[in-house]
Structures are given as structure tokens and as C-alpha cells.
């Protein structure tokens, strides 16, 4: 709990500083700092990219020696699309791609949710209102969150509709204090009782090379 509160305090301060200083963009330093505050005193590699291979259920993230280059490409891609992309679409991409790379030993989910929220606040030009913020709401909806990521993994990021819908509904809940009526965006794109697509090996294109970063999808 203390680490979570510390991470959110840092996240709020870095959002406000980026907006005040006119430097609204994502950086590797911000990402590493978000991870550090999430797992400080819990792991010796807090705030450092992982030095070994990790496995996440059926997903095998890229090898450790690829992490730095993949994260550099990730940050550059996000910043190139920061001004023009739909905010929720870009945040959905950030949430999926970060989890796919899985750059840290621990705290990847917490850091991905914080980075996603950073993008939304930067795009809005302010810390978004609401008593319970998006990262906590995503954590509450763990089943939907995991399903959305599995579908995105199975299409190498080509189908982010479930991630987008989940974020759209939870943002509505944060800002308005209640879930959207009639099931919201999630109900419109998630087939009831449908089996999720099965993810591949998590390595992107054939031969283990990552596929090119997809453009952020248009707003649903």
C-alpha cells in the first residue's frame, strides 16, 4: 500500500511538472522512476530493466538483451503520436505494448497502468478528476484486463478494441462516479461468453523479430 501511494504521488507530481514546464512527453527516465516507486525496497532491480528472461503465463516476453531497444522504440513511437492520436487509443496501445515487452523484473502491471494514465493526463492537460483513479479501476477489473491483453497479444497489437473499451468505460466511471449505462463500450465489442483468441509465443513476427509498431487505432 505504501509503495502504491508513493507511486501515485510521484505520478501526479511528474504529470503536473510536465504540463507546467511545457514538456508533455513520455521518457525512459519517467518509466524507470514509476517502476522504482512501485517496488522500492521490494526488489533489488527496482527502476532497472530486467537482466534476465521472464515468463508471464502463456506469454514469453522478448529476451532481456532486446528490452532497451524495444523500450526506446516504444517511447519514440508514443511521443511521435502524442499530439495526433486519440487519447484513449494511445493509452490502450501503451498499456498493451508495455505489458508485451515486460521490461522489468517486477511491478510491470503497476508501471504499465501508471504510464497509461500519464498519457491520458498529458493529453488532457491536467490531472484527471475522480476519487478512484484509472490504474486502481483497471486492477479491480482484472478478468477483463487480462482478457483484453490476451486478445491484443494474439493479434500482435492489431486488435486493441477490448483494451480501448475497458479504458473508455473506466475513465467514464472515474470522472462521473458511475459506470456507463447499458454496459458501456465493453458490451459493444466483447462477444458474450466467447472464448478469447489464444496468444502466440509473444515474439511478434516470424523468426522472433518484433512486428512493426502498429498505429494507434481510431477511437471506437
CA 65 to chain centre: 21
* Whether residue 172 lies in the annotated active site: no
153 Cβ contact partners less than 8 Å away, ≥ 6 residues apart: 59, 96, 100, 199, 200, 202
Give alpha helix (H) positions in the chain: 2-20, 28-39, 67-80, 87-101, 108-124, 134-140, 142-154, 161-176, 184-189
Residue in the block written with cell 494507434: 216
In the set 59, 102, 172, 176, the catalytic residue is: 102
C-beta of residue 90 within 8 angstroms of C-beta of residue 119: yes
Active-site residues: which are they?
102
Amino acid at each position: 500500500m505504501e509503495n502504491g501511494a508513493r507511486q501515485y504521488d510521484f505520478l501526479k507530481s511528474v504529470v503536473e511538472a510536465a504540463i507546467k514546464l511545457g514538456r508533455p512527453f513520455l521518457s525512459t527516465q519517467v518509466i524507470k522512476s514509476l517502476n522504482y516507486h512501485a517496488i522500492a525496497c521490494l526488489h533489488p532491480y527496482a527502476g532497472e530493466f530486467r537482466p534476465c528472461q521472464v515468463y508471464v503465463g502463456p506469454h514469453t516476453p522478448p529476451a532481456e538483451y532486446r528490452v532497451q531497444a524495444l523500450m526506446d522504440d516504444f517511447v519514440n513511437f508514443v511521443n511521435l503520436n502524442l499530439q495526433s492520436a486519440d487519447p484513449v487509443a494511445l493509452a490502450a496501445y501503451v498499456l498493451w505494448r508495455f505489458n508485451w515487452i515486460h521490461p522489468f523484473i517486477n511491478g510491470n502491471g503497476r508501471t504499465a497502468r501508471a504510464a497509461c494514465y500519464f498519457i491520458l493526463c498529458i493529453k488532457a492537460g491536467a490531472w484527471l478528476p475522480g476519487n478512484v483513479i484509472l490504474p486502481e479501476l483497471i486492477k479491480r477489473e482484472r478478468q477483463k484486463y487480462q482478457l483484453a491483453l490476451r486478445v491484443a497479444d494474439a493479434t500482435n497489437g492489431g486488435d486493441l478494441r477490448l483494451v480501448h473499451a475497458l479504458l473508455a468505460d473506466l475513465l467514464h466511471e472515474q470522472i462521473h462516479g458511475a459506470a456507463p449505462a447499458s454496459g458501456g463500450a465493453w458490451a459493444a465489442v466483447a462477444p458474450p461468453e466467447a472464448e478469447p483468441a489464444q496468444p502466440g509465443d509473444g515474439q511478434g513476427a516470424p523468426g522472433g523479430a518484433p512486428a512493426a509498431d502498429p498505429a494507434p487505432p481510431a477511437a471506437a
